[in-house]
């Protein structure tokens, strides 16, 4: 007990041991406590979503909760430690080391709390999206993502104002009033960001496309994966991840390919010049009947003998396939192509290919 009561730098050995023991306790059990808190939040927020992966909850909440627990333990530990009197450190009410350390600690603490609230909002978004996926409509998926983005912006804004007000003693009300004076300058400085923000509202309310739609804009074709405040993210046909500002999505001509009811097929069948008129007419009629009677094409198909080509008699084939599934589209198109080959062969005609006739004159 005499050793524990010995004083070094203004604190007893017992105080130092208390600090070391508390820190060890925190490092050992912070993962346990963070997981238990995550379990409680999971049961409260996702009890009606049993298919939700619990690992997603841990990935979102465990790390920020560990930081919060360690900051609390650090505060408890340091509350038993005093600065040596001979250092003559200014009290917390005056500017000095004590005040700086206190403000740094409060900044970290409020930042971690804001981080946790952001993760909780993200977790709520995961829960709501999991429920929205059970519905046929894609509009609710887009609405949830958009509202979560708004909530995150609000949370970050409140967190910043809390740090300014609590830590740095800034008059937040006066600051907000001052923003009204500098609002015009801020708007001019952030012109493009504001345009993209307004564009996101137009996309949300007008719904020119939804998450999951296949769109073409500025010559780029891709599937919409996320619609944010500033940008829209597309997964292109090459599987790359493309980010386009929202302003471009509404200012440029946008083709929502998912809204099409049919996929168009157009090509030319060339047969050789030694084909007779009867063969050409029979081939045209056979292909026309094929595209009219096929169960996956509509009645707008057109087949005509249109051109005397350089090396072939050209038959134009135009029809529409009633599917938006790319794999199904290719399978049906292939099936029709095989039938066209059979029709040409059954009529005794041959497919043409580029040829040249060379005439040599003997002098």
Same domain, 31 and 61: yes
- How far lies 241's CA from each of 221, 232, 238, 247, 286, in Å? 11, 10, 9, 18, 45
Regarding whether 295 and 246 lie in a shared domain, the answer is no
Q: Is residue 269 part of a domain?
A: yes
For residues 33 and 266, give the distance between their C-alpha atoms in angstroms, rounded to a whole number.
Answer: 64
The count of other CB atoms within 10 Å of the CB of residue 8 is: 10
Low-confidence ranges of the chain (pLDDT < 70): 1-12, 45-54, 56-57, 80, 82-97, 136-139, 175-191, 356-357, 363
Residue 322 falls inside a structural domain:
yes
210 shares a domain with 309: no
Question: 255 and 334: one domain?
Answer: no
Residue 324's pLDDT is 77
For residue 362, being part of any structural domain is answered with no
Q: Cα separations (Å) of 215 from 223, 252, 298?
A: 6, 12, 23
* 274: phi then psi, degrees, rounded to nearest 5: -85, 5
Residue-level pLDDT at 114? 93
Residue 173 belongs to some domain of the structure: no
Query: What integer pLDDT is reported at residue 134 of this predicted model?
Result: 74
Residue among 228, 84, 218, 38 nearest 142 (CA) = 228
The residue range of the domain holding 315 is: 263-346
The set of residues, in sequence order, having a beta carbon less than 8 Å from that of 210 and lying 6+ positions away, is 138, 139, 141, 142, 224
Same domain assignment for residues 217 and 303: no
- Report yes or no on 183 lying in a domain: no
268 beta partners = 316
| 291 in the same domain as 222 | no
Question: In the prediction, which pLDDT does 3 show?
Answer: 67
Q: How many domains does the chain divide into?
A: 3
CA-closest candidate to residue 197, choices 249, 120, 236: 249
| Per-residue pLDDT tens digits for 133-176 | 777 666 677 778 778 888 888 899 899 888 888 888 877 777 66
Q: Could you tell me if residue 295 is inside a domain?
A: yes
Directed axis angle between helix 97-132 and helix 54-78, to 10°? 160
Q: Residue 275 sits in a domain of what CATH number?
A: 3.30.70.100
Question: Is 318 inside a domain boundary?
Answer: yes
Pairing of strands 263-271, 313-321: antiparallel
Task: Give the tens place of pLDDT for each residue, 178-215.
Answer: 665 555 455 555 567 777 778 888 888 888 888 888 89
């Amino acid at each position: 007990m005499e050793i524990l009561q010995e004083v070094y730098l203004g604190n007893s050995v017992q105080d130092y041991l208390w600090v070391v023991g508390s820190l060890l306790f925190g490092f050992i059990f912070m993962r346990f406590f963070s997981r238990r808190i995550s379990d409680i939040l999971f049961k409260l927020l996702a009890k009606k979503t049993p298919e939700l992966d619990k690992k997603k909850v841990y990935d979102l909440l465990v790390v920020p909760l560990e930081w919060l627990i360690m900051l609390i333990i650090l505060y408890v530990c340091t509350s038993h430690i005093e600065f040596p009197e001979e250092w003559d450190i200014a009290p917390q009410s005056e500017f000095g080391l004590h005040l700086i350390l206190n403000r740094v600690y409060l900044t970290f603490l409020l930042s971690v709390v804001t981080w946790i609230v952001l993760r909780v909002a993200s977790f709520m978004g995961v829960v709501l999206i999991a429920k929205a996926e059970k519905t046929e409509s894609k509009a609710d998926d887009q609405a949830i993502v958009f509202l979560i983005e708004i909530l995150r912006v609000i949370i970050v804004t409140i967190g910043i104002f809390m740090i300014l007000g609590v830590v740095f003693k800034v008059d937040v009300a006066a600051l907000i009033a001052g923003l009204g004076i500098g609002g015009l300058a801020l708007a001019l400085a952030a012109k493009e960001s504001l345009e993209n923000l307004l564009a996101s509202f137009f996309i949300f309310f007008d719904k020119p496309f939804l998450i999951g739609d296949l769109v073409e804009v500025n010559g780029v074709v891709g599937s919409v994966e996320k619609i944010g405040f500033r940008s829209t993210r597309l997964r292109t046909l090459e599987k790359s991840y493309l980010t386009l500002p929202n302003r471009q999505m509404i200012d440029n001509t946008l083709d929502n390919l998912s809204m099409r009811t049919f996929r168009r097929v157009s090509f030319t069948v060339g047969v050789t010049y030694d084909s007779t008129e009867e063969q050409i007419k029979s081939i045209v009629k056979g292909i026309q009947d094929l595209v009219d009677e096929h169960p996956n094409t509509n009645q707008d198909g057109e087949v005509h003998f249109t051109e005397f080509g350089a090396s072939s008699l050209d038959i134009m084939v135009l029809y529409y396939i009633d599917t938006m599934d790319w794999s199904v589209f290719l399978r049906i198109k292939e099936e029709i192509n095989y039938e066209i080959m059979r029709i040409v062969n059954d009529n005794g005609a041959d497919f043409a290919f580029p040829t040249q006739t060379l005439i040599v004159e003997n002098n």
